[in-house]
């Protein structure tokens, strides 16, 4: 079935630093969607005659691609805003106790549902997600994602050096991951990521298993944390005395490649940046989390000088908001702390097509180009009295920047998944249709 959406449309398919024509904007645009896929897009004046017979919905606000959260933890949503500690203590005090509760499948189901609804309320339609060490935490998330038709990539967390109640073994890491890959890989809109938590929670044997898995299943992603916090970096250096730097630890186990996504990368050596760029691996920048845990400011200048591929992640529960708009605004502030002003169109790119490229789903989502899946969100520049005042009569760049600095879930008027409205600020969630495939 064909549907048409009329409104102001904006997307940024490529990094505007590399491609001056990356920004695509139709002030009065038309998006034609057939069976969930964009089949045409352009100025209303150019397309209206050709698609005159297609039922058309006019959307108020700015239509942008659905956000792609390149790094987020679903089991941590109820521990967001936990006070008082940097990374390693925060994990011990707040996060590991929360993750232990996922031994119970019903708990995982309930949190997975609430988590995905929260993504949709924030305009996020795709995400790369950490679950817990429990294999059924992946089942819970994937089943909830299929109920909503969302693009979700995840994989059982590997952590044989984890605390009591959360430690697996190298053998379990291998067998449970293989079983999950066989059951879930590429089912509908889902994808799998081999997910060692970080270097400190896996033995050498388990990191070797992760490398074997990545080599055996070349279409999965590798998802982990890298160089986030100074105390973590010191502990990694103390354990892996032969490694040239933190990234080199992962490299020695075959974990650095074009399908590797590393969260944070706040404290990277120039050598590591060179190696990231040469391997095609990417970094999910998580400014909200970095500020909350006192980890530091991501160095956009250093990463850009080396050509490191970047996306944007909320990293909830260390991140303090599910909003990718708000996270884009914090990316601007983190960049400026190192005297790099982040362009609002580039920030939108990082939150959509950039993250999609990192997750290797940019052929499917992220820029609303014909042939892509029709995941989009409608932004309301008048969502609050202040946003309304600040954006009244403003240029597109000014409106976009104001949305990033002042906006959050309040600015999400609607979220569409495969051309169907999944969230409407006025009426809430739409009834769900289980995916057929």
For residues 173-200, b (16+ Cβ closer than 10 Å) or e, as one string? bbebbeebbeebeeebbbbbbbbbbbbb
**Residue 328 binds what, of ligand GUN, Zn ion, none (CB under 5 to 8 Å, by partner type)?**
none
**Residue 299 binds what, of ligand GUN, Zn ion, none (CB under 5 to 8 Å, by partner type)?**
none
**Residue 87 binds what, of Zn ion, ligand GUN, none (CB under 5 to 8 Å, by partner type)?**
ligand GUN
**Site for ligand GUN (CB under 6 A): which residue of 95, 357, 418, 422?**
95
Q: Is 321 in the site for ligand GUN (CB under 6 A)?
A: no
Q: Is 156 in the site for ligand GUN (CB under 6 A)?
A: no
- Mark the segment that binds Zn ion (CB under 5 A) among 12-20, 104-112, 216-224, 315-323: 315-323
Minimum gap (Å) between residue 142 Cβ and Zn ion: 19
Q: CA 145, CA 160: separation in Å to the nearest integer?
A: 27
Alpha helices (H) in 29-104, listed in sequence order = 44-47, 87-90, 96-100
Nearer to Zn ion, 232 or 408 (CB): 232
Cβ–Cβ < 8 Å for 401, 344 = yes
Cα–Cα distances in angstroms (integers) from residue 421 to residues 38, 165, 424, 434, in the given order = 15, 40, 7, 15
Q: CA 306, CA 249: separation in Å to the nearest integer?
A: 20
92-121 positions binding Zn ion, by CB under 5 A: none
Q: Is 315 in the site for Zn ion (CB under 5 A)?
A: yes
Q: Is 69 in the site for Zn ion (CB under 5 A)?
A: no
For residues 307-337, b (16+ Cβ closer than 10 Å) or e, as one string? ebbbbbbbbbbbbbbbbbbbbbbbbbebbee
- Position with the least CB separation from Zn ion: 315
Q: Which of 242, 247, 279 is nearest to 263 (CA)?
A: 247
239-298 positions binding ligand GUN, by CB under 6 A: 289
**Residue 228 binds what, of ligand GUN, Zn ion, none (CB under 5 to 8 Å, by partner type)?**
ligand GUN
Cα–Cα distances in angstroms (integers) from residue 9 to residues 65, 76, 167, in the given order = 9, 34, 47
Q: Which two tokens stand for residue 67?
A: 């956000």
* Residue labelled with tokens 């889902």: 190
Q: CA 323, CA 118: separation in Å to the nearest integer?
A: 9
Q: Which two tokens stand for residue 378?
A: 């409608």
Q: CA 11, CA 24: separation in Å to the nearest integer?
A: 5
DSSP 220-262: SEEEEEES--HHHHHHHHHH-TT-SSHHHHHHHTT--STTEEE
Minimum gap (Å) between residue 130 Cβ and Zn ion: 6
Cβ–Cβ < 8 Å for 220, 191 = yes
Minimum gap (Å) between residue 318 Cβ and ligand GUN: 4
Minimum gap (Å) between residue 33 Cβ and Zn ion: 34
Minimum gap (Å) between residue 116 Cβ and Zn ion: 18
**Site for ligand GUN (CB under 6 A): which residue of 315, 375, 380, 408?**
315
**Residue 346 binds what, of Zn ion, ligand GUN, none (CB under 5 to 8 Å, by partner type)?**
none
Q: Is 228 in the site for Zn ion (CB under 5 A)?
A: no
Q: Is 139 in the site for ligand GUN (CB under 6 A)?
A: no
Number of residues that bind ligand GUN (CB under 6 A): 11
**Residue 197 binds what, of Zn ion, ligand GUN, none (CB under 5 to 8 Å, by partner type)?**
ligand GUN
**Site for ligand GUN (CB under 6 A): which residue of 51, 67, 142, 198?**
198
Minimum gap (Å) between residue 298 Cβ and Zn ion: 14
Cβ–Cβ < 8 Å for 268, 302 = yes
- Mark the segment that binds Zn ion (CB under 5 A) among 100-108, 215-223, 308-316, 376-384: 308-316
- Mark the segment that binds ligand GUN (CB under 6 A) among 87-95, 134-142, 203-211, 304-312: 87-95
CB atoms within 10 A of CB 436: 5
- Mark the segment that binds Zn ion (CB under 5 A) among 12-20, 256-264, 356-364, 415-423: 256-264
**Residue 95 binds what, of Zn ion, ligand GUN, none (CB under 5 to 8 Å, by partner type)?**
ligand GUN
Chain positions contacting Zn ion, by CB under 5 A: 263, 315
Residues near ligand GUN (CB under 6 A): 73, 87, 91, 95, 197-198, 225, 228, 289, 315, 318
């Amino acid at each position: 079935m064909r549907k048409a959406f009329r409104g102001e449309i904006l997307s940024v398919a490529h990094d505007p630093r590399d491609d001056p024509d990356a920004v695509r904007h139709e002030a009065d645009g038309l998006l034609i969607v057939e069976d969930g896929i964009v089949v045409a897009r352009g100025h209303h004046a150019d397309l209206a005659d050709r698609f005159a017979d297609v039922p058309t919905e006019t959307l108020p606000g700015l239509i942008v691609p659905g956000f792609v959260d390149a790094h987020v933890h679903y089991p941590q949503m109820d521990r967001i805003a936990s006070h008082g500690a940097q990374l390693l203590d925060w994990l011990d005090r707040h996060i590991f106790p929360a993750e232990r509760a996922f031994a119970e499948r019903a708990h995982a189901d309930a949190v997975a549902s609430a988590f995905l609804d929260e993504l949709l309320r924030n305009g996020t339609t795709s995400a790369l997600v950490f679950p817990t060490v429990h294999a059924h935490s992946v089942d819970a998330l994937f089943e909830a994602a299929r109920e909503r038709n969302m693009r979700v990539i995840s994989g059982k967390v590997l952590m044989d050096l984890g605390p009591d109640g959360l430690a697996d073994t190298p053998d379990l890491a291998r067998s449970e991951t293989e079983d999950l890959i066989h059951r879930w890989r590429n089912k509908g809109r889902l994808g799998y990521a081999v997910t060692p938590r970080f270097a400190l929670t896996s033995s050498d044997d388990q990191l070797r298993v992760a490398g074997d898995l990545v080599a055996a299943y070349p279409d999965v992603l590798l998802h982990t944390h890298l160089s986030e916090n100074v105390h973590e970096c010191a502990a990694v250096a103390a354990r892996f005395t032969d490694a040239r730097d933190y990234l080199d630890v992962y490299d020695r186990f075959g974990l650095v490649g074009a399908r590797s996504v590393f969260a944070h990368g706040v404290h990277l050596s120039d050598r590591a940046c060179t190696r990231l760029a040469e391997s095609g691996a990417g970094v999910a920048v998580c400014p909200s989390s970095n500020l909350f845990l006192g980890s530091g400011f991501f160095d956009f200048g250093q990463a850009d000088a080396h050509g490191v591929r970047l996306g944007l992640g909320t990293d909830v529960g260390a991140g303090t908001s599910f909003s990718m708009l708000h996270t884009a605004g914090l990316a601007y502030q983190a960049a400026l702390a190192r005297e790099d002003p982040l362009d609002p169109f580039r920030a939108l790119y990082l939150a959509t097509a950039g993250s999609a490229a990192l997750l290797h789903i940019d052929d499917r989502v992220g820029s609303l180009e014909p042939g892509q899946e029709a995941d989009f969100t409608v932004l309301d520049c008048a969502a609050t009295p202040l946003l309304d005042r600040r954006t009244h009569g403003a240029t597109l760049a000014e409106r976009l920047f104001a949305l990033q600095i002042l906006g959050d879930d309040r600015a999400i008027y609607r979220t569409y998944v495969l051309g169907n409205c999944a969230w409407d600020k006025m009426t809430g969630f739409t009834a769900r249709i289980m995916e057929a495939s």
